[in-house]
Amino acid sequence: MMYPYIVLSDETEITHSHIIERNNRKEVEVHFERATAEGFDTARCILPTYEWIIKDRFTDIEMNLFDQLLQNNIQLVCC
């Protein structure tokens, strides 16, 4: 199940998973998604390691902003 977190001004929706126990460690998946005429821009990050598992059609500048957003808000969405 995914929980809504925030919708950015460019209509990028950010959601996060519940706490997932994986390999004896607690993780949260954070999803970034924005509808476009061609489909969706999508990105997914695993916290607390900040490992990006999907980066599809967001720019490098946007990805850097997402990194900053996660670092500034990790306490609100992570284990």
3-state secondary structure at position 61 = helix
pLDDT at position 19 is: 93
pTM, rounded to two decimals = 0.91
pLDDT, tens digit, 9 for 90 and up, residues 15-59:
999 999 988 999 999 999 999 999 999 999 999 999 999 999 999
- CA dist., res. 51 & res. 71, Å (int): 12
Residues in the chain: 79
CA 16 to chain centre: 7
Instruction: For residue 27, give the nearest of 45, 43, 47 by alpha carbon.
Output: 47
In terms of pLDDT, which residue wins out, 22 or 11?
11
Q: Where are the domains of the chain?
A: 2-77
- Write out the H or E segment, with its range, that includes residue 72: helix 60-77
